Structure 1
Amino acid sequence: MRKASASGGGLHPEEAYVIALRVDGLIPGLYHYRVQDHKLTLLTEGKFEEKLIELLYHQYFARGLSVGIFITARFDKAWWKYRHSCAYRNVLLDIGHASQTFQLCPTSLGYQTWITGAFQDIEVDSFLGVNGSIEGTIFFVGAGTGELKAIDELTLRHLASR
């Protein structure tokens, strides 16, 4: 299957867990993206904005997102082919390519994007229902038309007072 992002060995170890917050036509909730048939599978219905902010170490940038995606790595996909330390490096590079491709797509449509690697690992893996040693969360990307700035007013005032 051809994809828009590069992948070491063509393995594409990335998985996408989509948190639909404000998406027309989608029930708010947690979804898994199945690349094989290009479909979203609803895992848990619910409004998870506050949970998401908590999982992201209370980063306020997540408030107002339309959609967020936790990108996980299926380490087992790389380990069967590369039985050495390069497997881990290739997985990380692949996740970087996938996250960059994600950011380019919404940006080209006029949406704002945001990316972070700061989240509560064990809690996020539990929320997604993944086993952290075989499949682990690497990155979070989000998009939307939010009203929040990259630096909030409180931080700007603090910086200006220095």
Structure 2
Amino acid sequence: MLSEFDWLRRCDTGAELLATLQYFNDHPDLLLRGTEIGPPHSAFGGPCRRCWIYPRVSAEKDDLHCQFCNEILARAEKLYQLSRRSVIIWGFVNRLPKHLTGKVAEDDPFLFGRYVHDENKFLAVMHRLHLKTWLKEIVIYYGSQIKGLLQIFPPIVYKRKLSMGDILCRAAYH
């Protein structure tokens, strides 16, 4: 149903974004599973209150979210402090660095989470103190071969009107 980027766009906070990235890293087959659409919104229930697509875990009043959203929100609680010390990088480059693809990216100690959108766009989350070192490594290994734009922003949303998904959509658009 939803693609990985659609799930990333539904994130409200940086902690949810990091939790979603780590969840997809741990469960890469999630998108292949077929899940039925939840019931329409009504006074007696309805779909998940976060994604508004999938059915809730149970019909009880306390269960407001689907299984995936419950997992993301539980992980986000644990990752809140880590997300406050991190930065988010949205990159649009002529070619992706190997630091973001394959086995090298899985072993990268700097990255908390990563997502490769296509052959030119990526999203990476890392500790803000390691950003300079990570950028230096990319310049050392690739030099002037990589050209493009890196948008670096904090995972904290200051205005209640914007969510992390809104910021991510604006970064992807520009």
TM-score under structure 1 length normalisation: 0.24
Bigger fraction of residues in helix: 2
Larger radius of gyration: 2
Bigger fraction of residues in strand: 1
